A = this chain, B = another copy of it.
Amino acid sequence: MSDPESPDLDLARRCAERLLDSDEASKRLGISISVTAAGQAVAVMSVRDDMLNGFGICHGGYIFTLADTAFAFACNAYNDVTVAAAGSIEYLQPVHGGDRLEASAVEDYREGRRGFYTVTVARGESDVVALFRGRSTSRSEPLLK
């Protein structure tokens, strides 16, 4: 999968593979990930019935978790262990069982150990259901062995 013409994307993808290997949380939620550029990632999840809350709509925690996962893969693109320092979400529309959600993370700003990301969560092509912002901190430790 190495691509000598795009070393940044190549590195980002190797970091993602390393993270995915042992990511039980994402696997268990059925989240699939693709890294589209350094600092960008897309996470996809279908809403299951066991993700619904007492109102019969998707528990906000699962929408947040999906967005947070896209964020984690976007910010871990540089072979430097990077963790979430903070995250916030605005819920724009209710999400229902069976909905297929796509969370697209982009990097707004990164400098030194700090990074800031926006994740748009949409149902289908363009029906935006939530907007997430994440702040990351890197540890200056290589992610790849």
Contact = CB atoms under 8 A, between A and B. Distances in A.
B65 A25 contact: no
Identify whether the interface residues of A are mostly helix, strand, loop, or mixed: mixed
A116 B90 contact: yes
Nearest to A88: B88
Interface residues of A, number: 52
Given A61-B66, A84-B91, A86-B89, 4 more contacts: A23-B59, A26-B59, A85-B91, A108-B131
Interface of A: 18-26, 28, 49-57, 59-62, 64-66, 68-69, 72, 81, 83-92, 94, 108-109, 111, 114, 116, 118, 120, 128, 131, 133, 135
